[in-house]
Structure 1
């Protein structure tokens, strides 16, 4: 890495912290929407880590995690470069919506095109202007709608380096999950970048335990990779819990529409045959209880009180 490098045509020297506004789209009123990118370089050369959140505008817990990292000054390395993008999809954030203004899911538009839709162009410029500098990435997400994700790190199971970094991160679960085509993670992996996708909490919600796990995980990874000495912030071995590696998983979906009651909690280990929940009509005439088909761990639990037939209720992982 040279002593000076550019992001969006702005040079950042060793030892500097600079906020650059990425301006590539506007509201229908022609008002600019700037995407702040905080770039911090250490005094010596080294690798580059990207901490990014808010690809989906309603996934506020990820935004809070990166915000806390910046507020505490943890993003300023002694060696190498740390790039923070706390909120990528400002449009969705303003509308408290998952989607981009054109109705598309930004996380299904990568690597994008400069001749495509607005979401596709947005993805293209991120990949073109920022990502070439990046070696490692922690991508923060939450569960969609009313579905709560227990804190977990998702990786491509075949990548040993990513598995080691996921263990260092220290979330309760490591989930082997092949990245979908046209997602940000898939595009990064194809470029040879090492990506940890953190999932925790649910949309439009802040959870203190999830936030704590997400911040501590970043500290652990930054320390491990040598960006900065966080010895005083690293948990003692006696306080560490070995992550449970989930190699397979399945969704249990609603067989009926109606009012939903869950009998379990996210993160819980469940035995085969245990009652997981029930669905009833609103009138007290019908209630259907469903049971667990296979021993596993609850990775995600739907918190919605009303569900439609086919809705995802519970995500169960297996070792």
Structure 2
């Protein structure tokens, strides 16, 4: 028997085909409509259903490029299962290059949402109803916050054996055990029985080829691990993955111009000098030291810092 079609919105996607769908969100003040763009690749053969999304924060464009390449790469004729791509979740923030929605709400604190709540709550509810509820696994693609840069990393519940195996298969340089946050997509997904891997990499409003490549290859490795695609020769040998159980930010102990002496991925020791702060005349006013031993997974790219600002993220 032919595989059943996949229902989303008011359309059905036939097995062995791909289709793009616009899910209505709201009417704009100009009279136009805002909608959630979704691309469904419904494999000819049966298998798991997963989703891949990006731009829950509107300035996180790197994941949009990861999804563009993946959509061009997957063939519904050979895919076993279904992949639902949502390249831009926070459509209104994305149009403005803004992390948040127009009402300043963080969409990743509004899940599972409500059909009659705020705009953010309605988008979250639409995403949960049309996408998450129909899948067993999600890959949520993010970048660092404003003026920060992240080493490619997977954040997930590494105490769950299945999730840990998938995080390792992704092959990012670091996989970090991360607690769930109320209102996050990870938390809402778990509540309805879907595991979620959160990919963090790069900077907002910027394409960087290295983390884009890690993201594309990582998703393909996960699909291979779930037996949805055949293993590709270039992906046979996944890179070494550092497992980290906790992390924390080193904060500036003074105000000044920051000069870093480490970069992303550096292995550091507790007490090691990582940089320093100088005043506008070039006089050194403070040193920055590691408060733990581990690997650098995040940095500020803001040269001017104030006392208490987070400057270096170390996972151990």
TM-score with structure 2 setting the length:
0.95
Structure 1 residues 127-276: aligned runs within 5 Å: 127-235=128-236, 237=237, 240-276=238-274
Q: Offset at 1:77? A: 5.1
For 1:213 and 1:151, the matched residues in 2 are separated by 7
Q: For the Cα contact (< 8 Å) 1:40–1:76, is it kept in 2?
A: no
CA distance in 2, matches of 1:115, 1:53: 24
**Distance in 1 of aligned mates of 2:140 and 2:280:** 40
User: In the aligned structure 2, how far is the partner of 1:13 from the partner of 1:106?
Assistant: 31
Q: Which residue in the other structure is 2:61 paired with?
A: 60
Contact kept? 1:173, 1:245, Cα under 8 Å: yes
Query: 2:3–2:44: 8 Å Cα contact kept in structure 1?
Result: no
Matched, 1:96 2:92: no
Which has the higher mean CA deviation after the structures are superposed, 246-255 or 141-150? 246-255
Tell me: CA distance 1:65–1:76, structure 2 relative to 1, closer, same or farther (3 Å).
Answer: farther
Task: Work out the CA distance in 2 between the residues paired with 1:77 and 1:21.
Answer: 25
Deviation at 1:285, TM superposition (A): 4.7
SS of 2:187's partner is helix
Q: Residue 302 of structure 1 aligns with which residue? A: 300
5+ residue gaps, structure 1? none
Deviation for aligned residue 1:78: 2.1
Q: CA deviation at 1:87?
A: 1.2
Q: Name the SS of the counterpart of 2:25 in structure 1.
A: coil
Say if 1:252 and 1:315, in contact at 8 Å, map to a contact too: yes
Shift of 1:25: 1.8
Contact 1:42/1:77, CA 8 A, preserved across alignment:
yes
- Following superposition, the deviation at residue 214 of structure 1 comes to 0.3
Q: Residue 14 of structure 1 aligns to a residue in which SS?
A: coil
Q: What is the distance in 1 between the residues matched to 2:114 and 2:185?
A: 13
State whether residues 150 and 200 of structure 2, in contact with CA within 8 Å, keep that contact through their aligned partners in structure 1.
Answer: yes
> Does the aligned pair in 2 maintain the 1:48–1:133 contact within 8 Å?
yes
Give the Cα–Cα distance (whole angstroms) in 2 for the partners of residues 82 and 233 of structure 1. 22
- The TM-score, its normalising length taken from structure 1, stands at 0.94
Quick check: 1:69–1:75 contact (8 Å CA) kept in 2? no
User: Would the aligned equivalents of 1:257 and 1:309 in 2 still touch at CA under 8 Å?
Assistant: yes
CA distance in 2, matches of 1:83, 1:187: 17
SS of 1:23 mapped into structure 2: strand
